[in-house]
Amino acid sequence: MSLAIDAIARIVDGDLIGPASSSQIEFLLFDSRQLKFPQRTLFFAIEGVRQDGHDFIPDLYAAGVTAFMVSKKIDSQGLPDAVFIEVDDVIHALQLLAESHRAHFDMPVIGITGSNGKTIVKEWLVQLLAPWFYIVKTPKSYNSQIGVPFSVWQLNDDCELAIFEAGISRPGEMVNLEKIIKPTLGIFTNIGSAHDEGFIDRAQKIREKCQLFKRCELVVVCLDHEEVFDALRRAGIPTYTWSRKNRNADLYLKVDTASQNTMFNYRTSIEQGVLSIPFKDPGSIENACHCMAVLSVLGEKIDSYSVVFKHLSPIEMRLDVREGVNGCIVVNDAYSADIESLSAALSFAKYQTNQRQKTIILTDFLQQSQPLDQLYARVARLLIEHAFNRVIGIGSEIQKIASFLPDEVERIFYKSVDELVVAVDSTMFQDELILIKGARSFALEQIAQLLSRKRHRTVLEINLAALARNLKTFESLLNGGTKIMAMVKAAAYGSGSTEIARFLASRNIDYLAVAYPDEGIELRKSGIQLPIMVLNVDASQVDLLQTYDLEPEVYSVPQLKSMVNFSWQADLPLNVHLKLETGMNRLGFIEEDIAEIGDLLRNSNHLEVVSLFSHLAASELAEEDDFSRRQIERFDRFADLLEALIPYRPLRHILNSHGIVRHPYAQYDMVRLGIGMYGIGIPELGSLERVHTLKSTVSQLKDVYPGDTIGYGRMERVKSPMRLAIVGVGYADGLIRKAGNRRYAVVLNGMRSEIVGNICMDMIMVDVTNLPDIVVGMSVTIFGKWPTVEALAKAADTIPYEVFTNLSERIKRIYTYD
């Protein structure tokens, strides 16, 4: 929807200054860095505390913008085509324009307020409802006096449902936002301490927030939040209530967190049922309850959405780990600043590296009711406890921490992020851990980007929290005392062996296994101290095993002889693992080798057999269970014979991920976990979560027409007008070429988009003809929760193992913990 510049001037009661113009405005702008369509953009010159939007007018004019909303007299010399709408208050004018725009639309509008959870509830509602409704929503967390008008300006004639957040920090603000949003349905998520300092007391803050709902048909509220419910009732605002305590609520729920997922038993006046979500924290449980209540209010059956609830995704406000400049590890948690989240981030960070040097970049703790001296004394104690060597503070209050830090802790303070950006020299950071922690309003993400190693835009996200939950699932299947050997060969199935090994060590895994000595050496150099078995070793590498305390798999008599000779000549002990052939017919001793094995071991005082093991050939196949049982019986017999020849009892292990589930009677002393850790290929364990998400971005959009062809070999011949998105991932990244030519579909904006034509070395072309709102820079999911890596493997006539191990080193790995 566009609006003439003179019509806008009338709406905001402004003076139109400049040459007559027929400009049609489609886009509103207040951040000059976000300029996209200059000829159709109106720039709002907002005066801020540190910056004045009027100062950016010349540069924007040079970039093609000719329409400006201003509150100062502008010298138009050098700006001959510029048109200015002069008003007393630019923000108020923006709000008037948005209010007028909202009046043109009659559709359900959901308004969300509360202290916490607004953004997550909004995003989860979009995940639930987007397949059935064309939704306009608040971008990111645009819920302020400036953000809300820009959110509402997105409304258009195609919109079927709108979801907007509203946040306030002082009395009188919500009245403005209510006029702009004009919600028909409300959600009051909860009330907490955020922004307490802007109000006389908590009761006043609740009353102010309730102003958003004065024209709502219903407001979703938790009946257990008595202060909030009572305020709504006293204001005469109709409510739809949910409760975990009161059976008289409109939606009554029983919650069970005993399993890997959270289970809900719910009941309304028209339905009852059971569903689950993949989160267990109290905030996620509350957010899901709000979403269920909204579905019920909208007349939807909650049960129809159970599959979507089960696969709800976390939003991007989460902690992640990145490869940094100069050998650094960057832990980015630039979304909140409070004691609880700082403590969690510090605990997470300590497992990410063995580097002794640790730096934290920390902002002011905004809107905290605790006295500042007490607050920063607590922060300092946490940093000392976690052995941080340097504190880089940003803001006006953070300097108070200095008096609580010991002299040996370096401290540097900056007034703003911009000041730090100017001061940062990459040589300031060398081989250290850098934790970035601060309130969202400081926009620390630019610091995270600055300190991250610049790499390919295609990224593999590895969710360590999901990995931890998967480990717990497998541990629950094991007998007491059964050890776990985790397979981290082939860069931990493409995940990054060092990072995964470090995380597994923090989870008290007993053993690691790698394919080659080089992989084990890399782990040792990274400070990994767990025992490491090496699957493939030749005689020339035995000295490396001793140097780096690695334990080889031994599978033949000649190999065993070389190990015995080395340990004897070096007069050094060597731990080995004997691989026994039981039916795989790959590597392994055969039973005819038993006598010679016994002779060699009896004559060596330096060689110790740590374990005897074998490998099931078809543990995942029910039709091969008899064969698997015969393998296990053969292993028992073989191991018994060998143990009779040595004066001690080695560990035994034969089960892989599938075997743990399907043959639990053969756990012995240890099991080996591989791809099952990552939530892949074990359908019997429905609680496993997918750990990997491969993402790229849209590089360009292109329209093609009948008669055109697409890609190498002209494999796609266009029969009707088509819009393509060019995505920056290709076979050089490991995307298998067989998946091209519409055999596989990636996901953009929650919708499938088929790969058209052949997959190129560095990019793919996907069909987005029928997908709305696709823009350059948009995230594209190659595989993850949906679409799955199994679907990609099927399209490429291969298996998930090959997909993972094909992933190129140039893909950036990001480790998240939701």
Catalytic site includes residue 548: no
Q: Which amino acid is residue 484, in one-letter code?
A: I
Q: Does residue 195 come out as left (phi exceeding 0), alpha (psi in the -120 to 50 range) or beta?
A: left
In angstroms, the CA 726 to CA 732 distance is 16
- Please classify residue 138 by burial: count the beta carbons closer than 10 Å to its beta carbon, then call 0-12 exposed, 13-18 middle and 19+ buried: buried
Q: Residue 775 corresponds to which tokens in the numbers above?
A: 């823009």
In angstroms, the CA 85 to CA 71 distance is 8
With CA atoms as reference, report the closest residue to 187 among 126, 112, 121: 112
Residues 6+ apart with CB under 8 A from 132: none
Residue in 254, 472, 702, 712 annotated catalytic: 712
In angstroms, the CA 82 to CA 8 distance is 15
In angstroms, the CA 274 to CA 264 distance is 5
In angstroms, the CA 601 to CA 605 distance is 8
CB 376 within 8 A of CB 398: yes
Q: Does residue 797 come out as left (phi exceeding 0), alpha (psi in the -120 to 50 range) or beta?
A: left
CB 17 within 8 A of CB 103: no
Residue in 489, 579, 695, 785 annotated catalytic: 489
Residue 542 CB neighbours (<10 A)? 21
In angstroms, the CA 376 to CA 402 distance is 9
With CA atoms as reference, report the closest residue to 323 among 505, 419, 460: 460
Catalytic site includes residue 712: yes
Q: Residue 157 corresponds to which tokens in the numbers above?
A: 């004639």
In angstroms, the CA 748 to CA 779 distance is 7
Residues 6+ apart with CB under 8 A from 64: 38, 39
CA distances (Å), 118 to each of 190, 577, 770, in order?
Answer: 9, 54, 30
In angstroms, the CA 748 to CA 45 distance is 34
Q: DSSP 3-state helix, strand, coil percentages of the chain (rounded to 5)?
A: 35, 25, 40
Q: Residue 575 corresponds to which tokens in the numbers above?
A: 């731990």
- Please classify residue 298 by burial: count the beta carbons closer than 10 Å to its beta carbon, then call 0-12 exposed, 13-18 middle and 19+ buried: middle
In angstroms, the CA 578 to CA 98 distance is 73
For 786-809, give the secondary structure using H, E and C. CCCHHHHHHHCCCCHHHHHHHCCC
3-state secondary structure of 306: helix
3-state secondary structure of 246: coil
- The sign of the CA dihedral 620, 626, 631, 637 is positive
With CA atoms as reference, report the closest residue to 675 among 583, 529, 523, 790: 790
3-state secondary structure of 130: coil
**Beta 483-487 vs 511-514: how paired, if at all?**
parallel
CB 512 within 8 A of CB 677: no
Phi, psi (rounded to 5 degrees) for 276: -135, 160
In angstroms, the CA 141 to CA 119 distance is 6
Cα Rg, the chain, nearest whole Å: 31
Residues 6+ apart with CB under 8 A from 518: none
With CA atoms as reference, report the closest residue to 294 among 110, 461, 472, 520: 110
3-state secondary structure of 461: strand
Q: Residue 175 corresponds to which tokens in the numbers above?
A: 């009245």
Tell me which residues are annotated as active site. 489, 712
